[in-house]
Chains A and B, each alone.
Chain A
Amino acid sequence: MAPLREGARKAALGATASARLVRAWLPALSLGLVLVAIAYLNPRAISYFGFSLMLNLAIPIVLATIAQMFVITGNELDLSIGPFVGFVGCVTATWLNDAPWLGVAALVGAIGVYAALGALIYLRNLPSIVVTLGMSFVWQGLAILMLPKPGGKAPDWLVGIAGFTPPLVPLPIVAAVAIAAIVHFGLMRTSYGAILRGSGGNPTALARAGWSLLKTKVVLFALAGLFGVLSGMTLISITTSADANIGNGYTLLAIAGVILGGGEFVGGRVSPIGAVVGALTMALAASPLLTFMHIPPDWQVAANGAILIIVLAARALVSRRED
């Protein structure tokens, strides 16, 4: 009887392990599916030029997704990342071009505001959804004040960086790989990265071991601010001019990217590589795929939502099997 039970236990463990494997590969699988669909609909899109074009706007989304991922690591949610990216875009297209030092100071200050929000949320025990929802209107308002109507101009050096064409592999893919590698190292491999993730996994245990939860929260929010700034700047480097509403769609894209990439809303379970893959999937599914499917622009947002629901439902099914 004992070996029989042991066998059953191993089988159960095996099932869990395979579900885990499926789950780990689900982000890559969904990206692969989208790519296959695109290749089927329009074989010419699978080329250096095609990818450059399709992934043109992917890097700002990837960076915003990473920003959101840091916030989710600490069991919080940032509903202001989209308007924040828009605000950064407006600063980049105006002050950073006209008065670089003022622009740099404004962007550094914005990161400081993010860090302060983390401290506020921790110290007053406020729900981050409420605080960041409020902040989204603040960022939006500031952006409109800076740039009441679309315009401005990206600094030339920034446009120059965006125009770089590496050999063989298009720039967006190179950038995505670099971002994934750097953030993976920082969050998953460094000793303080383990503490940051632990603050989402079991905050009580962390506090008992003598770590400051205030500090982890501030660091996570500051990192979110930093990547939000990078997102806004890269966005303007591509569009070359700004609009106060330019980042508004990013909030949901970023959340979807993190979850699509295997992250969980609570429990400190996040994956930087997964988040980058999830963001690329969202970027491709958001517009190129639907255009190739001849879905009229009026319906693209709805179709986007449908794709999201299908992928997340598949993930929910896999996670349930795992438990």
Chain B
Amino acid sequence: MSPGPAPIIVKLDGAEKHFGAVRALEGVDFSASAGECVGLVGHNGAGKSTLMQVLAGALAPDRGRITVAGAIQEHFSVTRAQKLGIRCVFQELSLCPNLSVAENARINHPSLRGMTWRRKAARLIAEKLDEIFPGHDIAASTIVRDLSIGRRQMVEVARAFTITQDPLDLVILDEPTSSLDAHTASQLLAFVRRFVAGGKSCVLISHLLGEVLKNADRIVVMRDGKVAAADAVSAFDRDSLVAVMGGAVRRANPALEGARPVQEGRALRIRARPARQGNGAELVAGEGEIVGLAGLSGHGQTDLLLAIFSAAGRHKAGIEVNAPVALVAGDRQSDGIFPQWSISENIGIRSLAKLRNGLLISPRREAELARVWQQRIHIRTPDMDHNILSLSGGNQQKVLFARALGSDARIVLMDDPMRGVDVGTKLEVYDLLREEARNGRTFLWYTSEIDELDNCDRVYVFRNGRIVAHLDRSDMTEEKVIQSSFSDAN
């Protein structure tokens, strides 16, 4: 019936992108043709966002070739992508909150100029909103700051579909329904189907697998910076998607096979309920336990850790903390290290009371503490008095662990601390954590890497700020964790 294959709008061959030691894309081939909606799924850090930014011209790949409408692109950029009819709705909201809805539309359309630009911009965005979300209540003159987050997302999506002088062939939607309610989400997805039926193309990135299975024509599954599977939607179902995303075989971890004491009879250290929990589920951690916090990133794990941290200082409703707390930050550059200070000073800051000599800090005791931890955690430096920035990233992270473990804290909160840390360092730290747990320390460990959950006694899975699953070590598998992280219950 069809006169041959549909024309390919955009094609990516062997795209590679590295951020330092992190390999976000490792030779990815990808294409989107006219008249199809491509679903793109994968777990955290699988490389979806990087791939999308490369397609939209926001990131230049280290290696690989981009072809748009049959022409190889040498100097691809956002402006060039726009000219060629490729638009992208980025995940973090990219509206200017201080401008009106119409003025935000003007930002994406340089041709909206002259005396009547305000009226033209208002009409452009209002018509598109009417088309995608019939019955919406957004006025073009409203300042974006005054809109709810869901309405902002509606404006942002509608803006991506507005057309003035440049063509529009492909729209990349990154989690477009994350802030929409069920009704507006279905309006949007119905519009996407109409858009695609009109011979255009769409890339739909979503964590809601049901949404992708229902609306995509083809699904590309990414894993560890590579395309793990790509096929027509009919070739997949929920379970097979989950299996491809997470890998079927669970890595054996012999170091942990030894029996660990059961939880009964341990002193309770933490009892906490997420602010948005809604039901009775709560997080409980006892003395000497390593408790994992899992789920997709940004689903409330860090919020809960910070709430527990502040509850240690003063009373907070719904959270009970029975021992001193230390936090190991994940974003070490902004939340962790003091860049002007030496390694020793960075370690000692959490233990000042112990290091004090009268009103002053005793340099001798500070050096002593640093020396002990240099040996225990193997910080590779000729001199602990050197500046912290002289260390590699992995060793800087070790310093943050030393700061927490060297303190009097009996509870250590870890906010995805192994981000961008090399494998050798990780294994050393894992051993140390287990040893400290045997000595009675409690660890709450949020991690975005599923493999790390092998080190935990129990795991709580988070979704939308709530605990949705509590998995014991005996029945914890990677599939179960992914399954709960992607639970479509909204």
Residue ranges of A at the interface with B (Cβ–Cβ < 8 Å): 16, 20, 189, 191, 194-195, 197-198, 200-202, 204-206, 208-211, 267-269
* Interface status of B117 (Cβ within 8 A of chain A): yes
Decide if A198 touches B78 in the complex (CB within 8 Å).
no
- Which 3 A/B pairs are nearest by Cβ-Cβ distance? A201-B96, A205-B94, A201-B98
Q: Mark B70-83, 1 if CB is under 8 A from A, else 0.
A: 00000000110010
Tell me the smallest distance from the CB of B155 to a CB of chain A, in Å: 12
Tell me how far the C-beta of B306 lies from the nearest C-beta in chain A, rounded to whole angstroms.
20
Interfacial chain B residues near A198, Cβ < 8 Å: 96, 98-99, 103-104, 107
Residue B207 interfacial (CB < 8 Å): no
Q: Say yes or no: B146 contacts A194, CB within 8 Å.
A: no
Residues on the B chain within 8 Å of A200, using CB: 98
Among B79, B94, B113, residue most surrounded by chain A Cβ atoms (within 10 Å) = B94
Mask for B3-17, Cβ within 8 A of A = 1, else 0?
Answer: 000000000000000
Name the residue on B nearest A204 (C-beta). Answer: B94
* A-chain residues with CB within 8 Å of residue B90 when the two chains form the complex: 208
Q: Find out whether the CB atom of B112 lies under 8 angstroms from the CB atom of A191.
A: yes
Contacts of A20 in B (CB 8 A): 146
Within the assembled complex, what's the spacing in Å between the Cα atoms of A189 and B115? 9
Say yes or no: B96 contacts A202, CB within 8 Å: yes
Interface check B108, CB cutoff 8 A:
yes
If A194-B106, A197-B98, A210-B110 are given as contacts, then 16 extra A-B residue pairs at C-beta distance below 8 Å, sorted by A number, are A20-B146, A191-B106, A191-B112, A191-B113, A191-B117, A197-B96, A197-B103, A198-B99, A202-B94, A205-B96, A208-B78, A208-B90, A209-B78, A209-B82, A210-B78, A210-B82
Contacts of B82 in A (CB 8 A): 209-210
Provide the residues of chain A in CB contact with B98, threshold 8 Å.
197-198, 200-201, 267-269
Looking at the assembled complex, report how far the CB atom of B142 sits from the nearest CB atom of chain A, in whole angstroms: 11
Is B332 on the interface with A (CB-CB < 8 A)? Answer: no
B residues less than 8 Å from A269 (CB atoms)? 98
Asked whether B272 is an interface residue with its Cβ less than 8 Å from the other chain, the reply is: no
Residues on the A chain within 8 Å of B172, using CB: none
Complex Cα gap A320–B411 (Å): 35
Contact with A along B460-481 (1 / 0, CB 8 A): 0000000000000000000000
Our pick among A189, A194, A211 for the contact of B99 (Cβ within 8 Å) is A194
User: In the assembly, what is the distance between CA of A198 and CA of B103, in Å?
Assistant: 9
- Are A206 and B107 interface neighbours, CB within 8 A? yes
Question: What's the minimum C-beta distance from B88 to chain A, rounded to whole angstroms?
Answer: 8
> Shortest distance in angstroms between A92's beta carbon and chain B's nearest beta carbon?
35
B384 touches A (CB below 8 Å): no
Interface status of B97 (Cβ within 8 A of chain A): yes
Chain B residues with CB under 8 Å of A268's CB are 96, 98-99
A202 touches B97 (CB 8 A): yes
Note all chain A residues with C-beta closer than 8 A to B146: 16, 20
B419 within 8 A of A: no
Interface centre among A194, A198, A202 (most CB of B within 10 A): A194
CB nearest neighbor in B for A192: B113
- Tell me whether A195 and B107 are in contact (CB under 8 A): yes
Number of A-B contacts (CB under 8 A): 59
Please tell me if the beta carbons of B118 and A189 are within 8 angstroms of each other in the complex: yes
A-B contact pairs, 14 of them (CB 8 A): A189-B118, A191-B114, A191-B117, A198-B96, A198-B99, A198-B104, A201-B99, A205-B94, A206-B96, A209-B78, A209-B108, A210-B82, A210-B110, A268-B99
Residue of B nearest to A210 (CB): B79
**List of B residues within 8 angstroms of A191 by Cβ:** 106, 112-114, 117
Known contacts A208-B78, A209-B78, A209-B108; is A197 also within 8 Å of B99 by CB? Answer: yes
CA distance A223 to B110 in the complex (A): 22
**Inter-subunit contact B95/A205 (CB<8 Å):** yes
Interface status of B228 (Cβ within 8 A of chain A): no
B233 interfacial contact with A, CB 8 Å: no
B97 and A201 within 8 A (CB): yes
The interface centre, meaning the residue of A16, A195, A209 with most chain B CB atoms within 10 A of its CB, is A209
| Shortest CB distance A117–B (Å) | 24
B103 proximity list for chain A (CB < 8 A): 194, 197-198
Bound CA span A287–B104, Å: 42
**Are A267 and B106 in contact, CB atoms less than 8 angstroms apart?**
no
Distance A202 CA – B97 CA, assembled complex (angstroms):
7
Chain A residues with CB below 8 A from B110, complex form: 210
Q: In the complex, what residues of A have CB within 8 A of residue B94's CB? A: 202, 204-205, 208
A205 near B118 with CB under 8 A, answer no
B112's nearest neighbour on chain A, judged by CB, is A191
Q: Give, as a whole number of angstroms, the nearest-CB distance from B202 to chain A.
A: 19
CB distance from A131 to the nearest CB of B (A): 22
Quote the shortest CB–CB distance from A239 to chain B (angstroms). Answer: 37
Given A191-B112, A191-B117, A267 contacting B107 (CB threshold 8 A):
no
Residue picked from B79, B94, B107, most chain A C-beta under 10 Å: B107
In angstroms, Cα B108 to Cα A18, docked, is 32
Q: A208–B87 Cα gap in the complex (Å)?
A: 11
How far does the Cβ of A52 sit from chain B's closest Cβ, in whole Å?
Answer: 37
User: Across the interface, which residues of A come within 8 angstroms of B108, CB to CB?
Assistant: 209
Q: Which of A20, A200, A210 has the most CB of B within 10 A?
A: A210
B58: interface (CB < 8 Å): yes
- CB-based nearest B residue for A266: B98
Whether A194 lies near B107 (C-beta < 8 A) is: yes
In the complex, what residues of A have CB within 8 A of residue B117's CB? Answer: 191
- Docked-complex contact B58 and A208, CB < 8 angstroms: yes
**Smallest beta-carbon distance A1→chain B, Å:** 15
- How many Å lie between the Cα of A258 and that of B103 in the bound state? 23
Contact B107 A209 (CB under 8 A): yes
**1/0 per residue B102-134: CB within 8 Å of A?**
011011101011100110000000000000000
Query: Considering the chains assembled together, what is the distance between the CA atoms of A254 and B98 in angstroms?
Result: 22
- CA gap between A248 and B8 in the complex, in Å: 64
How far, in whole Å, are A206 and B97 apart by their CA atoms in the complex? 12
- Shortest CB–CB separation between residue A258 and chain B, in angstroms? 14
What residue of chain A has the Cβ atom nearest to residue B108's Cβ?
Answer: A209
B104 — which chain A residues lie within 8 A by C-beta?
198
Given A16-B146, A189-B118, A191-B113, is A211 in contact with B97 using a C-beta cutoff of 8 Å?
no
C-alpha spacing A191/B58, complex, angstroms = 25
Complex Cα spacing A269 to B96, Å: 10
Which residues of chain A come closer than 8 Å to B107, judged between CB atoms? 194-195, 198, 205-206, 209, 211
Complex interface: chain B residues within 8 A of A206 (CB): 96, 107
- Complex Cα gap A155–B28 (Å): 71
Question: What is the chain A residue whose CB lies nearest that of B107?
Answer: A209
A200 to B103 CA separation, bound complex (whole angstroms)? 14
| Complex contacts, B79 vs chain A, CB 8 Å | 210
User: B118 — which chain A residues lie within 8 A by C-beta?
Assistant: 189
User: Which residue on B lies nearest to A202, using beta carbons?
Assistant: B96
Q: Which residues of B contact A209 (CB under 8 A)?
A: 78, 82, 107-108
B-side contacts of A267, CB under 8 Å: 97-98
Closest approach, in angstroms, between the C-beta of A246 and any C-beta of chain B?
Answer: 35
Contacts of A210 in B (CB 8 A): 78-79, 82, 110
List the B side residues contacting A208 at CB < 8 Å: 58, 78, 90, 94
Least Cβ distance of A28 to chain B in Å?
19
